[in-house]
Structure 1
Amino acid sequence: MPDHVPILELKQVQIAYGQIKAVKGIDLALHAGELVSLIGANGAGKTTTLNAIAGTLPIAAGDLIYDGASINSLPAHKRVQRGLALVPEGRGIFTRLTVEENLRMGAYIRTDKAQIETDMQRVFEMLPRVKERLAQVAGTLSGGEQQMLAIGRALLSKPKLLLLDEPSMGLAPLFVEKIFEVVQSIVREGVTVLLVEQNANLALHFSQRAYVMESGQITLTGTGDALLHDPKVRSAYLGE
């Protein structure tokens, strides 16, 4: 796919819950290999947008174009097969399964057994803490370990585009730092990442570009660096 063609494009996308329009006609684009953030206050429509891209929520209007084709009517599991993975808010791990069973669930759509084992090793290199706990029941992990497991599981689906919803939420500062290091490694390996993150400071610091969302609309867009130094963004999201 040529670099100038976005891997993901949202064109005038609207998402509604009954009569309530949660997302009011947004445009957004991601190019291959980018780390792009979507920031905004609680209730702005960020998680709703990610869920619609992943296929767990229908869109009311507009177009979702992934890898050059419309995916409006493509079911969620088919989107995973096409290389689109979501790490949901709240992690969504299988708490009663072991860490290893959770990881292997990430590869359930794949049949390339030898490559799955290679990818498992890659995840272990990236997330050594997960490797140390393979036989442990996932529900007994700390919040930070569960978040790493959720990311590892998504990576085993071999994504081209990874959607990350609030990966640092509720985590100790040390884990937040580690999670962002992992996200950078994923981008270095060529995976495109769309990140929704309450910690706007960190998100903008690491992102090439970002979008600011307010009340279901995109109100600002720019490079991570430009938005980090934008007075409006600083007062609204960086606590200044």
Structure 2
Amino acid sequence: MLEVTGLHVAYGGIQAVRSITFHVKEGELVALIGANGAGKTSTLKAIARVIDAVGGDVHFCGEKISRLPPHDIIRKGIALVPEGRGVFPRLTVAENLAMGAFVRDDKAEIAADIEKMYAYFPRLKERETQLAGTLSGGEQQMLAIGRALMSRPKLLLLDEPSMGLAPIMVQKIFEVVRAVAAEGMTTLLIEQNAKLALEVSQRAYVMESGEVTLHGESAQLLNDPKVRAAYLGE
């Protein structure tokens, strides 16, 4: 479904991503793991066209999307849950969810999908008229994921969904990530908790200094001595 070939991202003279190549098949949950500054977030932003890549190609469902504007990327079926959540603080929970469906015009199904998001995240239902800026970090993360799902994406990009959250919130969010993946949602996950990322994904790529240095089945990487030493604290 997603083919990234020779992707190169730079900020001025700093090379953040160095000609990486990887793929995500339809229905897979694939993880990108690595230390801070490895280039993981830059990779997702380049796929979603939030930033411009300086080289390489991105193909999605057989179509080259490397030069499309961001609003066309979401219409193609790619939704990004950004690092830091990026909710609209002055809009209510319900309004944020509705904004996620701006590419759609099926009002009845949009309303049904909002209720589906509330089923995933009952806490959002309790706060549907509350301004998003007044929510806790965990609640904002729930809202950011729900908003992305409202576009009915073919590919969900998740950037550090557990960052800064209490363990109970992380558990709830990853219950939904697992549930959505089990329903067939293709997902590319960046996660600082490497153990958690490898436990929920089928395959994973390890990034170091902007390059992919290792890849394989997640279960195998969990037992790889290098991965365990570098990312699992062993």
The TM-score with structure 1 as length reference comes to 0.96
Equivalent-residue separation in structure 2 for 1:94 and 1:120 (angstroms): 16
Equivalent-residue separation in structure 2 for 1:206 and 1:72 (angstroms): 28
2:96 alignment partner, one of 95, 102, 107: 102
Q: In the alignment, what sits opposite 2:143?
A: 149
1:229 aligns with 2:223: yes
Equivalent-residue separation in structure 2 for 1:76 and 1:117 (angstroms): 25
- Root-mean-square deviation (CA, aligned residues, Å) is 0.8
Equivalent-residue separation in structure 2 for 1:187 and 1:29 (angstroms): 17
Equivalent-residue separation in structure 2 for 1:50 and 1:13 (angstroms): 11
Equivalent-residue separation in structure 1 for 2:134 and 2:178 (angstroms): 27
Equivalent-residue separation in structure 2 for 1:61 and 1:142 (angstroms): 38
Q: In the alignment, what sits opposite 1:4?
A: none
Any idea what SS the aligned residue of 2:38 has? Answer: coil
Percent same amino acid among aligned pairs? 62
Q: In the alignment, what sits opposite 2:176?
A: 182
Alignment coverage as a number of residue pairs: 234
Equivalent-residue separation in structure 2 for 1:188 and 1:120 (angstroms): 20
Q: In the alignment, what sits opposite 1:204?
A: 198
Q: In the alignment, what sits opposite 1:30?
A: 24
Equivalent-residue separation in structure 2 for 1:190 and 1:75 (angstroms): 27
Counting only pairs closer than 5 Å after superposition, residues 6-85 of structure 1 correspond to structure 2 as 7-85=1-79
2:126 alignment partner, one of 107, 128, 132: 132
Q: In the alignment, what sits opposite 1:3?
A: none
Structure 1 residue 19, shift from structure 2 partner: 2.2
> 1:201-237: CA deviations, max 9, x gaps?
1010111000000000000001111111111000100
Any idea what SS the aligned residue of 2:216 has? Answer: strand
Any idea what SS the aligned residue of 1:43 has? Answer: coil
Larger deviation: 150-159 or 15-24? 15-24
Equivalent-residue separation in structure 2 for 1:182 and 1:107 (angstroms): 19
Larger deviation: 125-134 or 42-51? 125-134
Larger deviation: 63-72 or 115-124? 115-124
Equivalent-residue separation in structure 1 for 2:174 and 2:112 (angstroms): 23
5+ residue gaps in structure 2? none
Any idea what SS the aligned residue of 1:115 has? Answer: helix
Structure 1 residue 131, shift from structure 2 partner: 1.1
Equivalent-residue separation in structure 1 for 2:107 and 2:198 (angstroms): 38
- Write the letter of the residue equivalent to 1:15: V
5+ residue gaps in structure 1? 1-6
> 1:38-96: CA deviations, max 9, x gaps?
00000000000000001111111111001111001111110101110000000000111
- Write the letter of the residue equivalent to 1:210: A
- Write the letter of the residue equivalent to 2:155: L
Structure 1 residue 18, shift from structure 2 partner: 1.7
Any idea what SS the aligned residue of 1:32 has? Answer: coil
1:122 aligns with 2:138: no
Structure 1 residue 13, shift from structure 2 partner: 0.9
Larger deviation: 183-192 or 197-206? 183-192
Equivalent-residue separation in structure 2 for 1:188 and 1:83 (angstroms): 18
Any idea what SS the aligned residue of 2:195 has? Answer: helix
Equivalent-residue separation in structure 2 for 1:234 and 1:176 (angstroms): 21
- Write the letter of the residue equivalent to 2:14: I
The TM-score with structure 2 as length reference comes to 0.98
Q: Deviation above 4 Å: which 4+ runs of structure 1?
A: none
Equivalent-residue separation in structure 2 for 1:187 and 1:33 (angstroms): 7
Counting only pairs closer than 5 Å after superposition, residues 150-169 of structure 1 correspond to structure 2 as 150-169=144-163
Structure 1 residue 119, shift from structure 2 partner: 1.2
Structure 1 residue 15, shift from structure 2 partner: 0.9
Equivalent-residue separation in structure 2 for 1:45 and 1:207 (angstroms): 19
Equivalent-residue separation in structure 2 for 1:127 and 1:32 (angstroms): 25
